């Protein structure tokens, strides 16, 4: 029996970690889910099981170790790919062909537009029109909630004083 095809027919995103599969991993006809899918973000339907999973995941991340590093790396790759998809969609919405090679002049204009956006947001932050959280969300996107962003915001506040 072909376990890879069986796993695919059950729509498995990843094969379970089992001693029986250790020596067969390379020989199976199975392709795991790509890095664009953050499998740790998929929720259980049952609220109680989901809370237990969240607690277990948080404890595993706090403990560090091999699994925590792997989980964080998978989440970073998934977030990076999602950002690339969002940028591509944004370019398509603006009427730009993302497959077309852009000239140096167009790239410079895009960089200046990004810089102007960043400066407008910073000015609004300093005037108190938006909060730090809103600034971070508008600058870095919805899901970027890492310590580096908070440290950068603290650095911004200390620089302007």
Residue 65 to residue 100: CA distance in whole angstroms: 43
- Looking at the 3D structure of the chain, how many domains does it have? 3
Q: Looking at the structure, do residues 120 and 160 belong to the same domain, yes or no? A: yes
Q: Looking at the structure, do residues 42 and 27 belong to the same domain, yes or no? A: no
Residue 149: per-residue pLDDT: 46
Q: Looking at the structure, do residues 28 and 9 belong to the same domain, yes or no? A: yes
Q: Which residue has the higher pLDDT, 80 or 153?
A: 80
Q: Looking at the structure, do residues 120 and 153 belong to the same domain, yes or no? A: yes
H or E element at residue 110: helix 104-127
Domain with 146, as residue range(s), is 105-161
Which are the contacts of 153, defined by CB distance < 8 A and separation ≥ 6?
132, 135, 136
Distances (CA, A) of 54 to 48, 49, 60, 75: 10, 9, 10, 15
Q: Looking at the structure, do residues 155 and 134 belong to the same domain, yes or no? A: yes
Q: Which residues of 60-81 are buried (b: 16+ CB within 10 A; e: fewer)?
A: ebeeeeeeeeebeebbeebbee
Q: Looking at the structure, do residues 40 and 96 belong to the same domain, yes or no? A: yes
Residue 147: per-residue pLDDT: 44
* Contact yes or no for 93/151 (Cβ under 8 A): no
Which are the contacts of 132, defined by CB distance < 8 A and separation ≥ 6?
125, 153
Which are the contacts of 126, defined by CB distance < 8 A and separation ≥ 6?
160
In Å, how far from its chain's centre is CA 95? 25
Domain boundary among 76, 100, 124: 100
Q: Looking at the structure, do residues 92 and 113 belong to the same domain, yes or no? A: no
Q: Looking at the structure, do residues 41 and 95 belong to the same domain, yes or no? A: yes
pTM of the prediction? 0.42
Q: Looking at the structure, do residues 47 and 66 belong to the same domain, yes or no? A: yes
* pLDDT tens per residue, range 98-154: 767 767 787 888 888 888 989 998 999 999 988 888 888 888 776 554 444 454 555
Domain boundary among 70, 100, 130: 100
Domain boundary among 80, 100, 120: 100
DSSP state of 128: T
Residue 145: per-residue pLDDT: 46
Residue 47: per-residue pLDDT: 93
Q: Looking at the structure, do residues 149 and 133 belong to the same domain, yes or no? A: yes
Is the per-residue pLDDT at 82 higher than 70?
yes
Residue 33 to residue 29: CA distance in whole angstroms: 13
Q: Looking at the structure, do residues 109 and 159 belong to the same domain, yes or no? A: yes
* pLDDT tens per residue, range 106-121: 788 888 888 898 999 8
* pLDDT tens per residue, range 29-69: 777 777 777 777 788 899 999 999 889 888 888 887 777 77
């Amino acid at each position: 029996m072909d376990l890879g095809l069986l796993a695919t027919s059950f729509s498995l995103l990843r094969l379970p970690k089992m001693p029986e599969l250790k020596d067969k991993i390379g020989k199976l006809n199975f392709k795991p889910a790509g890095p664009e899918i953050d499998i740790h973000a998929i929720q259980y339907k049952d609220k109680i099981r989901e809370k237990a999973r969240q607690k277990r995941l948080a404890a595993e991340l706090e403990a560090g170790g091999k699994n925590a590093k792997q989980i964080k790396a998978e989440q970073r790759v998934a977030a990076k790919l999602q950002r690339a998809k969002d940028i591509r969609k944004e370019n398509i919405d603006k009427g730009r062909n993302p497959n077309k090679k852009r000239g140096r002049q167009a790239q410079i204009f895009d960089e200046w537009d990004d810089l102007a956006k960043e400066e407008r947001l910073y000015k609004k932050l300093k005037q108190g029109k938006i909060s730090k959280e809103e600034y971070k969300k508008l600058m870095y996107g919805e899901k970027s909630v890492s310590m580096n962003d908070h440290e950068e915001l603290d650095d911004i506040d200390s620089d302007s004083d």
